[in-house]
Amino acid sequence: MLWQSFDHPTRQSDTFLPDMNIRASRGGRAGDRLVSWKTAGGDPSPGSFTYGIDPVTSLQLLTWNGSSPLWRSGAWTGYRVATDFIAHTSTVVYLTVLDIEDDASMSFTLSPGAPRTRYVMSHSGELVLQSWNGASLEWDELAAWPPYECSHYGHCGPFGYCDNTVAAPTCKCLDGFEPASGEWSSGRFSQGCRRREALRCGDGDGFFALPAMKAPDRFVVVGNRSFDECAAECSRNCSCVAFACLVWVGELIDAEKIGGNVAGSETLHLRLAGLDKGRRMGRKTEKTVSLVLASILLTCISLLILWIYKCKGLKKKRGKHKMLILGNLSDPEGFGEGSPTEGYQFPVVSFRDITAATDNFHESYMIGQGGFEKVYKAKLYGQEVAIKRLSRDSKQRTVEFRNEVILIAKLQHRNLVKFLGCCVEGDEKLLIFEYMPNKSLDALLFSTTRKTRLDWPTRFNIIKGIANGLLYLHQDSRLKIIHRDLKASNILLDEEMKPKIADFGMARMFNNNQLNANTKQVAGTYRYMAPEYAMRGIFSAKSDVYSFGVLVLELVSGVKISCTDQIMEFEDLIDYAWNLWKEGKANNLGDQSIVESCIPDEVMLCIHIGLLCVQDNPNDRPLMSSVLFVLENGSTTLPKPKKPVYFAHTNNEVEQRRGN
């Protein structure tokens, strides 16, 4: 295929759809823009209004009327995904920015279950967010930009700003400024504001912090710098009138007060003459110069400490974090250049939102814990989610986090857990998934009181569901994935007891023609591991087949692979199942809690498949396509399983690393 309209929004006229990319102009290439229709009456010829990425900075979005800017978003200075919760439809819109060396683009995705949603560049000059109403069979308007009259580009003039945090948004002057003309009282703000006191260039000038602002236009990017470095850069330059890890010279145009919880919100440090006087604006009582200076010094020290702390985190986020998300993740371990995951974009959630949703990770929200992670249940953007917080001091967990994000974010199947987003801020690494109300399979299967909820039809459907998920990973997905850590605790159950394969931290991608791979670092859970992987580090799709066989035998018997209490003198569950099969007593393997609900032929079929899957030679194990076909259709011609070779297991739940 040489061309498709979906990849060229400018040729699709006015509509921006989920997963569509709008690219910025780079290297002489014209950027993409949405183009309004000429009229509302159905004339699709190009209108005068357009929408796209700022061709000058690639750090903000604009709508234009011809060549004149009409509305401008906030600048992207530290975030790469903006989340917007639409209460009317309980939808989260994730607007994602990808900015790499030779390309910059944006796209958006929606939270699971969201109605059809789109952005439209309207004939009247508004960028409109719409969702489809199935009842009225019409598009409902959810939001529009510019939202207020004073939000129009430059409406409040130089050094004026639109305050949209009040009930009736209107133009105001920045602190230290006053209206430049008497027309403000008549609602005409284009002349903007003027300084109350001229700057002195180093003699008494200081910086006044204005929080929760949309950064003005016409900024200069000074790169990844700390708060101190940004302040020093602006202080040295007498033309610099403000900074926010961006720098402004000349007039401040199109500023806006937007609130602190909005993407693009910045603290603008405004240069004023006689900062002590500026600090006291609005006060009725004069204090002595010494008291004022002491107060200002204390405030500046507090602000400096706070901003050094914040900017250190921001610097990490914009350096280390950006590299991790946009760089390393495009080349996960086990797959070289040309990876199908390259350039993939996914929702990123702010750490602040997560700490708020979990009450700062309070124990009452925790629903699970492992050696290197804790799992919390929370409500995020109106949806119940599971949040996995990885250990902050484990380098190995960073690799697993990278693999899990890039793999599970790219995979979609009803039997794989659904990835909703992630968070990387400083040393914090968190993954967000759909919440599974019935938790993990092992929590039910190996509990004497709860296993009764798993009757035979439910267990048989779980077996088939896991087989479906593995077949997708090995054969049907765009990527060929080897899970490497398939076990009962990594199978989650939804409200209908349907299984979802989870935890892709150990997973590896294969090329389409690749059959196996070798690793010096064997990681996973013993007894679920195939012998060739545990002893020689060789893994393949047949390694997952072995783990699946163990799971099948566990589901039939209700016995954990590592448990020796119920298998008498036998080494483990596999050895026990094989001996029962050899003696013609395989029906005795079935869990007592499924006796009344089981279909004996199905149980025997599963035992037969389980023993075929755990054979010592990988070539003797069936492919998942064959397994699923037999589970769905039955078979009377299955080969006899060979005796599994017992190999020494150590430390069931610990990672083992092989030396050279």
How far apart are the C-alpha atoms of 54 and 73, rounded to whole Å?
10
CA quadruple 32, 33, 38, 43: dihedral sign: positive
DSSP type of residue 319? I
Q: Is the pLDDT of residue 11 over 60?
A: no
Domain residue ranges of the chain, discontinuous segments joined by +: 5-145, 441-633
Structure tokens at 131: 């969702």
How much is the mean pLDDT over the chain? 80
How far apart are the C-alpha atoms of 640 and 636, rounded to whole Å?
11
> Strands, DSSP E only, in 38-152?
46-53, 61-65, 68-72, 81-86, 91-100, 103-110, 117-121, 127-133, 138-145
| Residues forming a β-bridge with 311 | none
How far apart are the C-alpha atoms of 431 and 417, rounded to whole Å?
12
- Predicted TM-score (pTM) above 0.75: no
So what's the pLDDT on residue 301? 56
CA quadruple 208, 212, 218, 223: dihedral sign: positive
What's the average model confidence in pLDDT over 546-551?
Answer: 96
So what's the pLDDT on residue 134? 87
How far apart are the C-alpha atoms of 347 and 108, rounded to whole Å?
9
Q: Is the pLDDT of residue 314 over 70?
A: no
What's the average model confidence in pLDDT over 204-226?
Answer: 82
485 a catalytic residue? yes
What is the distance in angstroms between the CA of the first residue and the CA of the last residue of the chain?
46
| Residues forming a β-bridge with 178 | 194
Q: Is the pLDDT of residue 250 over 70?
A: yes
% of the chain residues with pLDDT over 90: 39
Q: Is the pLDDT of residue 427 over 70?
A: yes
What's the average model confidence in pLDDT over 202-219?
Answer: 85
Q: Is the pLDDT of residue 656 over 90?
A: no
Which tens digits make up the pLDDT trace of 486-496?
999 999 999 99
Closest C-alpha to 493, from 444, 422, 457: 444
Confidence of residue 333 (pLDDT cuts 50, 70, 90): very low
So what's the pLDDT on residue 531? 87
The single residue of 485, 503, 544, 591 carrying the catalytic annotation is 485
Instruction: Work out whether strand 160-163 and strand 255-257 pair parallel, antiparallel, or are unpaired.
Output: parallel
So what's the pLDDT on residue 308? 46
Cβ pair 65, 46 in contact under 8 A: no
So what's the pLDDT on residue 83? 67
Q: Nearest 5°: CA angle at 111, between 10 and 215?
A: 60
What's the average model confidence in pLDDT over 550-564?
Answer: 91
Q: Is the pLDDT of residue 555 over 50?
A: yes
Confidence of residue 518 (pLDDT cuts 50, 70, 90): low
Confidence of residue 92 (pLDDT cuts 50, 70, 90): confident
- Cα-based distances in Å from 642 to 197, 232, 615: 91, 75, 6
How far apart are the C-alpha atoms of 359 and 3, rounded to whole Å?
49
DSSP type of residue 564? -
CB atoms within 10 A of CB 163: 19
Cβ pair 467, 548 in contact under 8 A: yes
So what's the pLDDT on residue 287? 43
Q: Which ranges constitute the DSSP H helices of 558-614?
A: 573-582, 600-613
Greater confidence (291 vs 506) lies with 506
Q: Is the pLDDT of residue 342 over 60?
A: no
Q: Is the pLDDT of residue 400 over 80?
A: no
Q: Which ranges constitute the DSSP H helices of 409-455?
A: 441-445
What's the average model confidence in pLDDT over 527-533?
Answer: 86
Q: What homologous superfamily is domain 5-145 in, according to CATH?
A: Bulb-type lectin domain (2.90.10.10)
So what's the pLDDT on residue 326? 34
So what's the pLDDT on residue 525? 80
- Cα-based distances in Å from 332 to 306, 402, 407, 484: 36, 7, 8, 15
441-633 is classed in which CATH architecture? Answer: Orthogonal Bundle (1.10)
So what's the pLDDT on residue 653? 37
CA quadruple 198, 222, 426, 262: dihedral sign: positive
Going across the sheet that includes 46-53, the strands are 33-37, 46-53, 61-65, 68-72
163-172, 278-287, 362-371: the lowest-pLDDT one: 278-287
20-34, 100-114, 338-352, 602-616: the lowest-pLDDT one: 338-352
Cβ pair 469, 416 in contact under 8 A: yes
* CA 620 to mean position of chain CA atoms: 40
Encoded amino acid at 428, one letter: E
Q: Is the pLDDT of residue 655 over 80?
A: no
What's the average model confidence in pLDDT over 619-628?
Answer: 94
Q: Kindly report the backbone phi and psi dihedral angles of residue 170, in degrees, each rounded to the nearest multiple of 5, phi listed first.
A: -150, 170
What's the average model confidence in pLDDT over 117-121?
Answer: 93
Encoded amino acid at 201, one letter: C
What's the average model confidence in pLDDT over 316-322?
Answer: 35
So what's the pLDDT on residue 490? 94
So what's the pLDDT on residue 99? 65
So what's the pLDDT on residue 316? 39
> Strands, DSSP E only, in 149-289?
160-163, 170-173, 177-179, 193-195, 205-214, 217-221, 240-243, 246-253, 255-257, 265-273
72-76, 140-144, 452-456: the lowest-pLDDT one: 72-76
What's the average model confidence in pLDDT over 31-57?
Answer: 86
Confidence of residue 192 (pLDDT cuts 50, 70, 90): very high
Q: Kindly report the backbone phi and psi dihedral angles of residue 230, in degrees, each rounded to the nearest multiple of 5, phi listed first.
A: -65, -45
| Residues forming a β-bridge with 425 | 428
Q: Is the pLDDT of residue 63 over 80?
A: yes
Element (H, E) at 130: strand 127-133
So what's the pLDDT on residue 125? 92
Structure tokens at 236: 């040295």
Cβ pair 444, 453 in contact under 8 A: yes
So what's the pLDDT on residue 537? 83
Q: Is the pLDDT of residue 23 over 80?
A: yes
Counting DSSP H helices and E strands in the chain, the numbers are: 13, 33
Region of residue 599 (phi > 0: left; psi between -120 and 50: alpha; otherwise: beta): beta
Task: Choose the most confident range, by mean pLDDT, from 37-46, 274-283, 600-609.
Answer: 600-609
Instruction: Work out whether strand 177-179 and strand 516-518 pair parallel, antiparallel, or are unpaired.
Output: unpaired
So what's the pLDDT on residue 397? 63
Which tens digits make up the pLDDT trace of 628-653?
999 999 887 899 999 887 554 444 43
How far apart are the C-alpha atoms of 424 and 323, rounded to whole Å?
11
Q: Is the pLDDT of residue 263 over 90?
A: no
Structure tokens at 509: 């991608």
Element (H, E) at 624: helix 624-633
Q: Is the pLDDT of residue 455 over 90?
A: yes
